Amino acid sequence: MTVFLFITSISDIRDLDTCIKACEDVDFILHQAAWGSVPRSIEMPLFYNENNIGGTLNMMEAARRSGIKKFVYASSSSVYGDHPILPKVEGQEGNLLSPYALTKRVTEEYGKLYHKLYGLDTYGLRYFNVFGRRQDPDGAYAAVIPKFIKMLINGETPTINGDGKQSRDFTYIDNVVEANLKACLAPSEAAGNAFNIAYGGREFLLDIYYDLCKALNIEREPNFGPDRPGDIKHSNADISKAKKMLGYDPEYDFEAGIKLAIDWYKENL
């Protein structure tokens, strides 16, 4: 029997014994646990180092000791830093802009090394702005799509950081799930690599704001605030490496995904 372990909260991955215990009788690990948010990482670099780097290293080490077949882990588009080229292509990374991005890059380096030194089949998935059902809309560090939907539904006015002309490859959650499963089935030749996981589209934040207003039947102008430190202005992905090496073939473009997300929030907020 094949056993998958989806790690988001197994107690605390900063504790190696906990990680070793979690790997018992498991074949595949899909490691997602980390602290997100670029601005928060700028406030708390040590904490990010401990959890995102230390915790992921514990998980890889536990996987190695337990003879795990495949170790798939979440990386991030933030590893591209200030590299100006669009679309983002694996192998063309710039200077990092936040401790969060650094934790993901270090994690990828460990992924490479654990494959090379110990033969652990690791696959790093560089997610690009994931959105979809059940994403937390609350708090200062909430992702922009659920946050805007909730505020608009509640009659509040969202604030756009910067001019709203920043663009992102917003990626529907089901595409990310598909990528994780495809990585588990990928050949060992693809291991030790990191892959862009996105749809390959490009949406501008201001357009998304007005699309959400339209879908929710609301007419309201947004507020504008300062740019967020550590943010990349534009980001969209070339997904050909994941297509070729993992057989990744995302089903949901932004339009299909946002429709499903809005429907879910309308029913569940």
Ligand X SMILES: NC(=O)c1ccc[n+]([C@@H]2O[C@H](COP(=O)([O-])OP(=O)(O)OC[C@H]3O[C@@H](n4cnc5c(N)ncnc54)[C@H](O)[C@@H]3O)[C@@H](O)[C@H]2O)c1
Selected from 19, 38, 51, 258, the binder of ligand X by CB under 6 A is 51
Give yes or no for residue 204 binding ligand X (CB under 6 A).
no
The smaller minimum CB distance to ligand X, of residues 41 and 186, is found at 41
In whole angstroms, give the CA distance from residue 258 to residue 235. 18
Q: Which of 48, 80, 100, 265 is catalytic?
A: 100
Q: Which ranges of 143-253 would DSSP assign to H, the alpha helix?
A: 144-153, 173-185, 205-215, 240-246
Under the binding rule (CB under 6 A), the answer on residue 32 touching ligand X is yes
Q: Does 122 bind ligand X (CB under 6 A)?
A: no
Which of 23, 30, 33, 59 is in the footprint of ligand X by CB under 6 A?
33
* Residue span binding ligand X (CB under 6 A) among the ranges 40-48, 125-133, 147-155, 243-251: 125-133
Judged by beta carbon, residue 34 or residue 262, the one nearer ligand X is: 34
Among 48, 110, 127, 172, binds ligand X (CB under 6 A): 127
CA 120/CA 1 separation, integer angstroms: 20
The least distance separating ligand X from the CB of residue 12, rounded to whole angstroms, comes to: 4
265 annotated active-site: no
Q: What is the DSSP letter of 222?
A: P
Within 137-166, the residues that bind ligand X by CB under 6 A are: 143
For ligand X, which stretch binds (CB under 6 A), given 90-98, 116-124, 127-135, 146-154? Answer: 127-135
For residue 87, whether the previous peptide bond is cis, meaning omega lies within 30 degrees of 0, is yes
* Nearer of residues 50 and 211 to ligand X, judged by Cβ: 50
User: CA 167 → CA 34, 47, 84, 176, distances in Å?
Assistant: 24, 29, 13, 19
d(CA 147, CA 138): 6
Across the strands, what pairs with 6? 30
Rounded-to-integer distance, Cα 207 and Cα 212, Å? 9
What residue type is assigned to position 157 of the chain?
Answer: T
| CB hemisphere CA count around 198 (13 angstroms) | 29
| Chain residues that interact with ligand X, rule: CB under 6 A | 8-9, 12-14, 32-36, 51, 55, 74, 76, 127, 129-130, 143
For the annotated catalytic residues, the residue numbers are 100
